Structure 1
Amino acid sequence: MVHSEDDNRLSDLRKKIIGLGETSHRKSYYPQLKGQINELNLAMRALQESEKKYRTLVENVNIGIVRSEPWEGGHIIQVNPAFCKMLGFNDEKELLDISAADLYLYPEDRLELLGELRQTGKIKDRKIVFKVRDGTTILCSITLSTEYDPNGNMILMDGVVEDITEKERRSEALKQANNKLSLLNSITRHDIINQVMLLEGYLYLVMEQIKDPEELRLLQRMEANVMSIERHIMFATDYQEIGIQAPQWVNLLDALTSAMVPVDKALINIRIDVGDYLIFSDPMIGKVFYNLVNNVIKHSEATNLTITTEEEENQLLVVFQDDGIGIMDKSKLFKKGGSSSGYGLFLSKEILSITGIGIRETGMSGKGARFELVFSQGQFKTPV
């Protein structure tokens, strides 16, 4: 087939436009362009593979995932199968035409969440009651985040939703059972303490009338046993309280100051010189502080006690240092009834162990006792 002069000029122009003509200055760039196209294809395939993995993860996870429009009257945009199942829907299509507010038992909750999101941009573990398709309700823990346009306006609201209905029911049932058990134990201990007090009174009256030394010695032993029973009951009272309340962040200085209120200041001079710290501990930490001071008063023969803080190797030490006689035999410290300190140090160690706080005695005999509470990284911080 013979090409006309116009055809030849058109073909030459086309080659120049795409950079393949003999007279094109871009022909030499073709290998680079081809390489870039190959790289782009590889990147596209990698992106598609990544999206496929992400989609598989979203669809197979047991936690509900939902994306919706972040304004009043906004609709559901996308959900995963777990969210559909959670609310009694068969598939995503059945939810796309529903107003997001209609899923809330109390629609005003969504408005409150939207208002908070505008302020903070994120909400974590908020408890919300959702309506199930069959008319029942479920309690969920919801975490929300938002996406914004270039002007800073919210354009998407993403949520991760967990059904915690059964978990909350079990927790409440366990709480009720513990409350009933605690009440029963409290009543029982109260009744036993009353009987012990009566027994102590009768023993005192009998001992006043006994003149025989041997009989008096036997009665004194009986009195000591009765007092031991009373101490056991009081220990059980304190021990039962350990772990009842969730650990929390408390101000170290405030906790120490409160713990020192019942201490007889005439018996020992206490100086508190601690840094500005928050500590993560069982709410009974004040009992630990009191036990340590009470132990000094009872056994150390000290006149001064200094409470300080030190940081070393990412740890915080809260140090109780006295100027007493020190502790010669440390082998029985922190053991239940294993030393002259009774149950106090054992109880203190148990309270501290709930949140992994260590306790040790590093003093030297004759130079005073030194108790150190050891807070690891993550168990202490400075107030913001």
Structure 2
Amino acid sequence: MKRRSKPNSNENVRNKLIGLGETSMRKSYYPELRERINELERFRALVENANDALFVLDAFSWSFADVNKTALKKTGYDRDELLDSPPELVFPEDTCFLLHEVLIDDDIYSSWDKEDVSMTDLLGRGGTRIPVEMTLRVHFVGGRLYIVMVARDVRRRLADQRELQRTRNYLGNVIDSMHSILVGVDENSNVVLWNDYAHKETGRAAEDAEGNFVYEMMPELRRFEHLISATIRGEVDGGTEIFHMDRDGCNVFHEIVVFPFKGDEAGVVIRVDDITARTRMEEVMVQTEKMMTVGGLAAGMAHEINNPLGGILQGIQNIQRRISGHLPKNHATADELGIPFKAIHDYCEKRGILAKLESVREMGERSARIVSNMLQFSRQSGGERVCSDIEQIVETAIELSFSGYDFYSKSGGGGLEIVKEFDNSLPQLLCSPSEIEQVLINLLKNSVQAILADQGRGADDIARITIRLRKEPGFIRLEIEDNGPGMSPETRKKALEPFFTTKPVGEGTGLGLFVSYFIITQKHSGTFEIETSPGEGMKIIIRVPAEC
């Protein structure tokens, strides 16, 4: 009996062998393959969710082979639109040209293989442009050449950089706008900050000073090395010093302030200010306080002098009345004594008694006017401006100037002559009378003192001071001219500086011309000019607006 054969026996055997092979492969290779697949999936997730946009460019087809989600988000395209598209879709022309150069030029390829970074723009849908920082790497995979591009969005960083630069420029402008020398010094006493005013004062630019030893850049600071070094070491919390130095023949005062750095770094900030004007103004204020005190004492003395002076004048008037021939009582009293009144009168006249009494009365009245002017001058408010008679102000100033100071006897030679040349019908002037009087008194006394000190003056030369009052359109012009020795150009240049004087010590404060110039120009909006030459005398020309 024959055995029946199964028509599909060979197929069954084949299937069994295949199943055995698959089972064997699963047992030997599947776990490793699965692990590799998992790694690829994790890497893909990492790439897709990276903050940087990634582009993989197929160099042979010149189109994108792959992009990540960030690239899609930044450009606004979907994956299908980017894949197989050329790089010109999302990169500028110059960047695409660079990609070509990377492929064909070995030198450029080598440099980019070192992960160089370039700045470019990422072009998006609708014409948007995002500034990015891009790196390139070239890879061969499966016999094909790929360029992997990583584009990092730097908008926030650029904005921060611009803000930082703006802040730096602002602080730099603040520092450079200061009219103070500002120098930053590190722990080794090397310059780290040098502002524009330091450049102006020293002649050294910031690029030449920074990094150099501060005492070589500003030798004037050497005297404060102990303070600066102690502040750098943290031994003291800075300090302030005042020093002076000679500049072009003038004594200039400076204030140096040392501040320690705040923070971890050791160092100091040094600020140097020119305080000459402030120092001089403080001295002016001190001198003004002294003058106010003297003025108060003078006013008190004037009050005390007024009482006996009044008694003297009254006594002189009574004596003159007792010997006057116009009073019948005088004749009657002389008859009672048996003395003819005419004999008494003749005796007084021949002995000069009448003339002397008249002289005493005139001097007493003049003294009374001086005291009255002094009281009025001391009482007037310096800041109150009123409509005033400028001619009367000048007359009062002349009388005050030549009281209490025997200019007439000291003038020597041919004496002192005051010449007054006043225009008629001068308008009233809106001014502070006491301040204008102060100006005139200062100028008159300066003129007389200059004339007395003139060693070239002859024995018979007359000391002459001419005072002129003129009308000019919109102004009243006041001139005070003397025939003294005049000034040299060097003295003229410094004449209006406070505390500058050519007089011996104790004879002048050096404030007369300075205060006069200040009163006229600052308080009365006028002009103050000096015309002088050596040996030709001096003329002060004052113009004050004719307002009232």
Query: What's the TM-score once normalised by structure 2's chain length?
Result: 0.33
Between the two structures, name the one with larger relative contact order (CA 8 Å, sep ≥ 6).
1
For normalisation by structure 1, the TM-score amounts to 0.44
Structure number, greater radius of gyration: 2
